[in-house]
């Protein structure tokens, strides 16, 4: 008797999430991956890099990319951030264009036209529907279907996990046939130090006002892991002396709070005890210095 082995073909591809700042791109990627890979805050321009989140199944591998929100760049750092968005357009197998209830199309016409004339599948997700009425939601659905006729439009709430699984299933259907791009146990392409820097930056975005979070970059100088503990020393770079004082705060209280909160998050992330030492340094105009930006990983 002959036996037949039914072998399913393997699927894999890049699913890149793009959209305006603050619409919930990072919240969605974390929901798909089931890990807190990207930091999330209520401020625009929280994400500065392209961050890969890998989801593996037996016969598929999805490479999600979270990207910075689309803005008109005003300085070199923002130019680099938009470079990450551009690269996400170039290698996507499926595009996720995320909008939030109440917003209009992208101000950047070039990017918007790329979405409208895309040759690959576009999933247009209207996020944050938990915040709006049935009537408004229906109106927006029609608006976006007309605006981007080539897209499949879906209503979601990334925060409340509404329709996230449905979108995920659709992505698996649309994935092209391909062998995996990364080992099946890999979760991201970023090193440990990246997540440390981001955890610290998240607390700075949360606790400081105006220009301060946008003038900050973190560099982790020391990462030493032993069986029981991870010892970390990171520097918080600011652009001006006055900003250094603000970051440290009265008797060091503000900086201490950042340290405590970041350490707690990192202990969860690494599932280990953490010793975190922070200090602040002035690095004049780092945001406009191409060489330094390259050193900090903004080199796409
Ligand atoms: N009500 C509601 N809030 C949401 C939802 N998704 C995200 N948010 C909130 O929106 C804010 C921005 O979320 P992020 O995921 O950081 O947005 P982003 O698009 O990655 O932002 P940038 O990285 O700055 O471009 C946060 O305060 C989230 O908690 C949602 O479905 N409903
Ligand atoms: Mg983000």
Bridging pattern class, strands 11-19 and 217-225? unpaired
Both structure tokens of 206: 């949360």
Q: Would you state the pLDDT for residue 116?
A: 96
Count of all residues that appear for the chain in the document: 300
- The label of the residue with tokens 């699927």 reads 11
Query: Which has the closest alpha carbon to 21: 292, 203, 239, 213?
Result: 213
Atom of ligand 1 minimally distant from the CA of 158: 31
**For residue 65, what pLDDT is reported?**
98
Residue whose CB lies within 8 A of the most ligand 1 atoms, among 17, 18, 22, for a mutation test? 22
38 known ligand binder: no
Mutational pocket test of ligand 1: of 27, 37, 164, the residue with most ligand atoms within 8 Å of the beta carbon: 27
User: Distance between terminal CA atoms of the chain?
Assistant: 57
Q: Is the pLDDT of residue 2 over 80?
A: no
Cβ-Cβ contacts under 8 Å for 100 (sequence gap 6 or more): 20, 22, 23, 24, 126, 127, 128
pTM higher than 0.85: yes
Helices 76-90 and 109-116 pack at an angle, to 10 degrees, of 10
CA of 6 to the centre of ligand 2 (A): 41
Confidence of residue 83 (pLDDT cuts 50, 70, 90): very high
- Residues 218-275 pLDDT 10s: 999 999 999 999 999 999 999 999 999 999 999 999 999 999 999 999 999 999 999 9
Q: Tell me: is residue 24 an annotated ligand-binding position.
A: yes
**CA 233 to each of CA 49, 147, 201, 218: distance values in angstroms, whole numbers, following the listed order:** 22, 49, 14, 11
**pLDDT tens digits, 94-142:** 999 999 998 988 888 999 999 999 999 999 999 999 999 999 999 999 9
21 assigned to a ligand binding site: yes
Using the predicted structure, report yes or no on whether residue 6 has a pLDDT greater than 80.
Answer: no
> Taking CB atoms and a 6 Å cutoff, what residues make up the pocket around ligand 1?
21-27, 40-42, 44-47, 68-69, 127-128, 130-131, 157-160
CA nearest ligand 1 atom 1, residue: 128
134-173: per-residue pLDDT in tens? 999 999 999 999 999 999 999 999 999 999 999 999 999 9
Look at the block and give the residue holding tokens 């915040």. 131
* Radius of gyration of the CA atoms of the chain, in A: 21
> In angstroms, rounded to a whole number, what is the distance separating the alpha carbons of residues 295 and 299?
8
Domains of the chain: 11-174 (3.40.50.300), 192-295 (3.30.300.20)
> Phi, psi at residue 195, to the nearest 5°?
-70, -30
């Amino acid at each position: 008797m002959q036996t037949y082995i039914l072998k399913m073909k393997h699927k894999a591809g890049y699913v890149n999430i793009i959209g305006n700042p603050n619409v919930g791109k990072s919240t969605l990627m974390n929901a798909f991956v089931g890990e807190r890979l990207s930091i999330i805050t209520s401020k625009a321009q929280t994400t500065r890099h392209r961050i890969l989140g890998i989801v593996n199944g037996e016969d598929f591998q999805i490479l999600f990319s979270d990207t910075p929100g689309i803005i008109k760049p005003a300085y070199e750092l923002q130019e680099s951030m938009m470079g990450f968005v551009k690269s996400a357009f170039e290698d996507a197998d499926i595009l996720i264009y995320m909008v939030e209830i109440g917003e209009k199309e992208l101000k950047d016409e070039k990017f918007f036209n790329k979405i409208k004339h895309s040759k690959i599948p576009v999933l247009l997700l209207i996020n944050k529907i938990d915040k709006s009425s049935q009537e408004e939601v229906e109106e927006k659905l029609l608006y976006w279907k007309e605006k981007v006729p080539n897209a499949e439009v879906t209503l979601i709430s990334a925060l409340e996990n509404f329709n996230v699984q449905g979108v995920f299933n659709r992505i698996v259907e649309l994935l092209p046939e391909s062998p995996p791009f990364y080992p099946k146990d890999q979760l991201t392409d970023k090193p440990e130090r990246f997540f440390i820097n981001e955890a610290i930056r998240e607390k700075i975005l949360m606790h400081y006002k105006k220009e301060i979070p946008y003038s900050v970059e973190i560099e982790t100088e020391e990462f030493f892991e032993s069986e029981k503990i991870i010892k970390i020393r990171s520097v918080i770079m600011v652009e001006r002396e006055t900003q250094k004082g603000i970051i440290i705060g009265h008797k060091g209280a503000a900086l201490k709070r950042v340290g405590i909160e970041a350490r707690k998050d990192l202990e969860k992330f690494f599932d280990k005890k953490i010793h975190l030492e922070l200090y602040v340094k002035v690095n004049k105009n780092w945001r406009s210095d191409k060489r330094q930006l390259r050193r900090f990983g903004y080199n796409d």
